[in-house]
């Protein structure tokens, strides 16, 4: 008997209007135990190379992890995976909230959406009952209204709704998905994929319990009680509970790596206006949580002042604060909160949206675009109203917004001139708000991540710089033996990064939040191992879990190699090889020579060809997935 999962996958053929379920065996599930791994496996097995990301042949997989829905902190996440309309490669994004656990309670490990509906639809799942319903009346409605309508139609206020807004409907290439209005699969344009399939929403209600699936439910229940207490005692989780990610702003500014004016600088003169103290005073109304999580890192805000900001879509995270704030030269926290609300309402990834606007501001200031392109909007750094107008134009694909909705890489190709140099992206995905000139491992993660620049590829370098820190000591069971400065580029740093990348990938496979397991936060690795043992009954070790993560990353890399990606795509924007213009790291840049050497070291460590960046057949065989080598040789 299998434990911890049902093994059931729901297939939906939108073109034919049919649904059916498939059972996967335990041997397959042990190789791909959910999330990133299961989704990548499905794409490689069922979708040919070269499909149009916005065409009917793309496949969208919504996949839970082994631990998604377990009643302990941070076991909340699911993966949305498809070919990305933003990068043309492997697209993946995780979200917490309540939708993933509800899908698990309904009895499914994953939903696979294929084809394209002729008219807008939504999917209704209640345990064994699955129905494709008309959504014509929901199209062009805001998520808040659409969610309320679905719940009213189906007669249940506790239905969990995953959906898109106007950005997804209009195929903005960085459109995202939202569940419960506040939790987002933010990156890689999964909202555009769902919009292209004419799927407005996936509504779910389940009646089972996770502990009924578990091999040994008692240790899992005990872990939930232990973590509820530990969250208030551990410095990492306590800081997340008290401040959430907005607490990062001041520290990154002091370190000289707060992205400012499209990554020209690392310090923002108006940082006090957008930092935590101002946030707590001007915006904060409450702290919210995901399913069964004691951290409560979500901030609730409401504004009734210079701007009207609804409390329906949650408060801005650090990425949004820095993206619409310092990186756009804006020190108005209320305006940033309004931009965050608009991104939530229109389901636009706030990282890519803000970065694209900062790119456009630099293009405008250099005369590459003008008022005739922007409808008269003076799209300059620091112009609050221009920034907010631009978010609206992107969602509606109006004027310059129609071009910017394509993302910075495509926009730069159309604009021409120096615009390509102003476009801060990797593989077409815009950089998160962390400057690799002060965190070398983060730069490696931006470059090699299969989905493009992503700040959740591995724990960040400063966490492991102090050998006496809580985080470093917690990382020792993973094989991290040497504390290194954040800007260190040595082979040992490369080794540390590779180990931590596998660990983070494992989290994405099994449904754990980045803010859960050490070294990023408070759950010791041995507790994670014990949770997997109790859930599935598998006699696993830490090394086995790292191997699960590595297998998933290799599958995603195979996907990209099959799509024509190479080492040349694992490259940072040219600006990062130029000195920072201000802040405590003024004058600091990444050495191209060091970066290229580190890439080669990383490929060799991973068992990838250092010329092509493709996984070798030997390495894939060691990981139990030699079949994937046939796809790229």
Query: How does the average pLDDT of the chain come out, rounded?
Result: 97
Of the candidates 159, 31, 167, 39, the one whose C-alpha atom is nearest the C-alpha of residue 94 is 39
Domain termination residue (choose one: 348, 382, 417): 417
CATH code of the domain containing 549: 1.10.599.10
Domain termination residue (choose one: 212, 227, 259): 212
Q: Identify whether residues 196 and 299 lie together within a single domain.
A: no
* Model confidence pLDDT, tens digit, residues 420-477: 999 999 999 999 999 999 999 999 999 999 999 999 999 999 999 999 999 999 999 9
CB 300 within 8 A of CB 314: yes
**pLDDT attached to residue 2:** 81
**Strand segments (E) across 492-558:** none
CATH code of the domain containing 261: 1.10.569.10
Tell whether the model's pLDDT for residue 1 goes beyond 80: no
What pTM was estimated for this model as a whole?
A: 0.98
- CA atoms of 347 and 140, how far apart (whole Å): 12
- On whether residue 432 sits in a domain, the answer given is no
- CA atoms of 515 and 534, how far apart (whole Å): 21
What is the SS3 assignment for 110-132? Answer: EEEEECCCCCCEEEEEECCEEEE
**pLDDT attached to residue 191:** 98
* Model confidence pLDDT, tens digit, residues 46-101: 999 999 999 999 999 999 999 999 999 999 999 999 999 999 999 999 999 999 99
Q: Identify whether residues 413 and 458 lie together within a single domain.
A: no
CATH code of the domain containing 14: 3.60.9.10
**pLDDT attached to residue 46:** 98
Of the candidates 43, 15, 19, 21, the one whose C-alpha atom is nearest the C-alpha of residue 628 is 43
* Model confidence pLDDT, tens digit, residues 528-553: 999 999 999 999 999 999 999 999 99
58 contacts: CB under 8 Å, gap ≥ 6: 47, 51, 52, 82, 83, 193, 196, 197
Tokens coding 35: 């999330």
Q: Identify whether residues 253 and 345 lie together within a single domain.
A: yes
The CA–CA distances, whole Å, from 117 to 131, 172, 195, 198, 489 equal: 13, 19, 10, 6, 49
Tell whether the model's pLDDT for residue 486 goes beyond 70: yes
Backbone phi, then psi, for 11, in 5-degree steps? -100, 135
Q: Identify whether residues 477 and 604 lie together within a single domain.
A: yes
Q: Identify whether residues 515 and 406 lie together within a single domain.
A: no
Of the candidates 459, 463, 537, the one whose C-alpha atom is nearest the C-alpha of residue 505 is 459
CB 160 within 8 A of CB 204: yes
Angle at Cα 107 formed by Cα 509 and Cα 223, nearest 5°? 55
Domain termination residue (choose one: 212, 235, 269): 212
Q: For 56-94, give the DSSP string.
A: TT--EEEEEBTTTT-SSTT---EEEEEE-TTTSSEEEEE
CB 521 within 8 A of CB 481: no
* Model confidence pLDDT, tens digit, residues 551-602: 999 999 999 999 999 999 999 999 999 999 999 999 999 999 999 999 999 9
Angle at Cα 74 formed by Cα 72 and Cα 78, nearest 5°? 115
Question: How many domains are contained in the chain?
Answer: 3
- 22 forms beta bridges with 9
* Model confidence pLDDT, tens digit, residues 386-419: 999 999 999 999 999 999 999 999 999 999 999 9
Q: Identify whether residues 482 and 588 lie together within a single domain.
A: yes
- On whether residue 12 sits in a domain, the answer given is yes
* Model confidence pLDDT, tens digit, residues 313-368: 999 999 999 999 999 999 999 999 999 999 999 999 999 999 999 999 999 999 99
| Host domain of residue 15 | 8-212
Q: Identify whether residues 257 and 187 lie together within a single domain.
A: no
CB 72 within 8 A of CB 220: yes
Q: Identify whether residues 402 and 453 lie together within a single domain.
A: no
pLDDT cut 70: percent of the chain above it: 100
Give just the sign of the alpha carbon dihedral 469, 474, 480, 486: negative
Q: DSSP class of residue 265?
A: B
- On whether residue 386 sits in a domain, the answer given is yes
- CA atoms of 356 and 30, how far apart (whole Å): 40
* Model confidence pLDDT, tens digit, residues 165-214: 999 999 999 999 999 999 999 999 999 999 999 999 999 999 999 999 99
Q: Identify whether residues 153 and 87 lie together within a single domain.
A: yes
- On whether residue 433 sits in a domain, the answer given is no
Confidence at 26, pLDDT banded by 50, 70, 90: very high
- CA atoms of 270 and 279, how far apart (whole Å): 13
Q: Identify whether residues 452 and 341 lie together within a single domain.
A: no
CB 324 within 8 A of CB 299: no
- On whether residue 611 sits in a domain, the answer given is yes
- CA atoms of 98 and 291, how far apart (whole Å): 5
Range 18-30 average pLDDT: 96
Q: Identify whether residues 166 and 117 lie together within a single domain.
A: yes
**Strand segments (E) across 281-379:** 284-288, 298-301, 303-304, 308-309
- On whether residue 118 sits in a domain, the answer given is yes
Q: Are strands 303-304 and 110-114 parallel, antiparallel or unpaired?
A: unpaired
Residue 66 φ/ψ region, left for φ over 0, alpha for ψ in the -120 to 50 degree band, beta for the rest: alpha
**pLDDT attached to residue 108:** 98
- On whether residue 80 sits in a domain, the answer given is yes
Q: Identify whether residues 278 and 344 lie together within a single domain.
A: yes
Tokens coding 534: 């109790």
- On whether residue 218 sits in a domain, the answer given is no
* Model confidence pLDDT, tens digit, residues 99-138: 999 999 999 999 999 999 999 999 999 999 999 999 999 9
């Amino acid at each position: 008997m299998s434990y911890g999962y049902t093994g059931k996958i729901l297939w939906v053929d939108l073109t034919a209007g049919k649904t059916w379920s498939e059972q996967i065996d335990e041997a397959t599930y042990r190789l791909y135990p959910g999330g990133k791994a299961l989704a990548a496996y499905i794409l490689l097995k069922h979708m040919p190379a070269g499909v149009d990301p916005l065409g009917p042949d793309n496949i969208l997989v919504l996949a839970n992890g082994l631990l998604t829905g377990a009643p302990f902190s941070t076991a909340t996440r699911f993966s949305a995976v498809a070919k990305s309309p933003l990068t043309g490669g492997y697209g993946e994004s995780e979200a917490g909230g309540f939708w993933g656990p509800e899908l698990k309670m309904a009895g499914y490990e994953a939903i696979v959406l294929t084809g394209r509906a002729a008219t807008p639809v939504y999917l209704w799942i209640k345990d064994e009952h699955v129905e494709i319903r008309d959504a014509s009346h929901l199209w062009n409605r805001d998520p808040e209204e659409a969610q309320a309508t679905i719940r009213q139609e189906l007669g249940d206020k506790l239905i969990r709704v995953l959906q898109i807004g106007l950005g997804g409907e209009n195929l903005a290439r960085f459109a995202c998905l939202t569940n419960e209005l506040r939790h987002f699969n933010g990156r890689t344009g999964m909202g555009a994929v769902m919009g292209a399939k004419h799927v407005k929403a996936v509504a779910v209600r389940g009646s089972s319990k996770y502990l009924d699936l578990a091999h040994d439910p008692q240790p899992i229940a005990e872990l939930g009680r232990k973590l509820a207490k530990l969250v208030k005692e551990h410095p990492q989780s306590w800081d997340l509970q008290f401040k959430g990610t907005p607490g990062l702003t001041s520290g990154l500014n002091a370190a000289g790596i707060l992205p400012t004016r499209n990554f020209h600088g690392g310090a923002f003169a108006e940082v006090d206006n957008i930092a935590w103290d101002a946030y707590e005073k001007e915006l904060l109304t409450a702290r919210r949580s995901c399913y069964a999580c004691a951290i409560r890192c979500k901030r609730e805000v409401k504004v009734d002042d210079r701007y009207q900001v609804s409390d329906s879509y949650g408060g801005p995270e650090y990425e949004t604060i820095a993206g619409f704030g310092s990186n756009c030269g804006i020190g108005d926290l209320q305006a940033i909160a309004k931009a965050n609300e608009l991104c939530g309402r229109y389901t636009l990834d706030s990282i890519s949206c803000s970065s694209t606007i900062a790119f456009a501001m630099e293009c405008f200031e250099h005369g590459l675009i003008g008022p005739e392109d922007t409808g008269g909007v003076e799209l300059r750094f620091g112009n609050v109203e221009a920034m907010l107008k631009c978010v609206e134009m992107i969602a509606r694909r109006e004027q310059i917004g129609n071009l910017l909705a394509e993302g910075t890489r495509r926009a730069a190709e159309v604009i021409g001139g120096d615009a390509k140099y102003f476009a801060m992206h990797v593989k077409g995905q815009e950089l998160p708000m962390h400057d690799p000139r002060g965190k070398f491992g983060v730069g490696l993660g931006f470059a090699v991540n299969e989905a493009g620049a992503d700040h959740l590829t591995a724990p960040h370098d400063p966490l492991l710089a102090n050998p006496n820190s809580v985080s470093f000591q917690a990382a020792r069971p993973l094989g991290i033996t040497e504390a290194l400065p954040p800007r260190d580029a040595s082979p040992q740093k490369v080794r540390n990064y590779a180990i931590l990348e596998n660990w983070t990938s494992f989290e994405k496979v099994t449904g754990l939040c980045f803010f859960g397991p050490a070294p990023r936060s408070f759950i010791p690795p041995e507790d994670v191992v014990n949770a997997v043992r109790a859930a599935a009954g598998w006699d696993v070790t830490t090394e086995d879990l790292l191997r699960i993560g590595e297998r998933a990353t290799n599958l995603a890399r195979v996907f990209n190699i099959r799509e024509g990606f190479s080492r040349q795509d694992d490259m940072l924007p040219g600006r990062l090889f130029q000195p920072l213009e201000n802040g405590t790291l003024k004058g600091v840049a990444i050495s191209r020579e060091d970066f290229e050497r580190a890439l080669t070291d990383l490929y060799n460590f991973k068992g990838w060809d250092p010329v092509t960046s493709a996984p070798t057949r030997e390495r894939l065989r060691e990981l139990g997935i030699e079949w994937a080598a046939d796809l790229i040789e």
